[in-house]
């Protein structure tokens, strides 16, 4: 099993070391195993979870919901709750996307209008 130092994990995940510690302290990440010297030792499993957490965070999931998701992931019996949480977030992302697309359309309309003034 490949293991990674906090610095390697930060570089691979795109999170800062402080964020990794924060996520562990807040229960977003499960407790990370430690070496005999007491240093955190991340695995590919944690990197995979971090990759998905980054996706959730970048799509606007609040920290409280990330924490809830992290807690649910520690119990194999919570798959239905995880699905519900992710479906709710997916609906939020779809709403936000529709809003951004509508704003983009409005911008295009204004650009077309201004370009018409120049051509006119």
Per-residue pLDDT in tens (0 to 9) along the chain, 120 residues: 899 999 999 999 999 999 999 999 999 999 999 999 999 999 999 999 999 999 999 999 999 999 999 999 999 999 999 999 999 999 999 999 999 999 999 999 999 999 999 987
**Residue 77 neighbours by CB under 8 Å, 6+ apart:** none
Contacts of residues 88-96 at CB distance under 8 Å and 24 or more positions apart, as own/partner, are 89/56, 89/59, 89/61, 89/65, 92/60, 93/59, 93/60, 96/59, 96/60
- For residue 3, the 8-state DSSP code is E
Q: What is the pLDDT of residue 120?
A: 74
**What pTM, to 2 d.p., does this model score?**
0.83
CA distance 44 to 105: 41
SS3 of residue 4 by DSSP: strand
Residue 106's H or E segment, with its range, is helix 79-119
């Amino acid at each position: 099993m490949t293991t990674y130092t906090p610095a390697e994990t930060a570089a691979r995940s795109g999170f800062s070391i402080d964020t990794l510690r924060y996520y562990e302290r807040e229960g977003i990440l499960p407790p990370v195993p430690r070496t005999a010297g007491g240093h955190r030792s991340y695995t590919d499993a944690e990197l995979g979870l971090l990759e998905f957490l980054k996706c959730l965070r970048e799509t606007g999931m609040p920290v409280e919901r990330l924490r809830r998701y992290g807690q649910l992931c520690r119990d194999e019996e919570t798959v239905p709750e995880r699905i519900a949480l992710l479906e709710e977030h997916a609906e939020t992302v779809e709403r936000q996307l529709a809003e951004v697309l509508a704003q983009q359309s409005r911008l295009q309309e204004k650009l077309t209008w201004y370009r018409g003034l120049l051509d006119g």
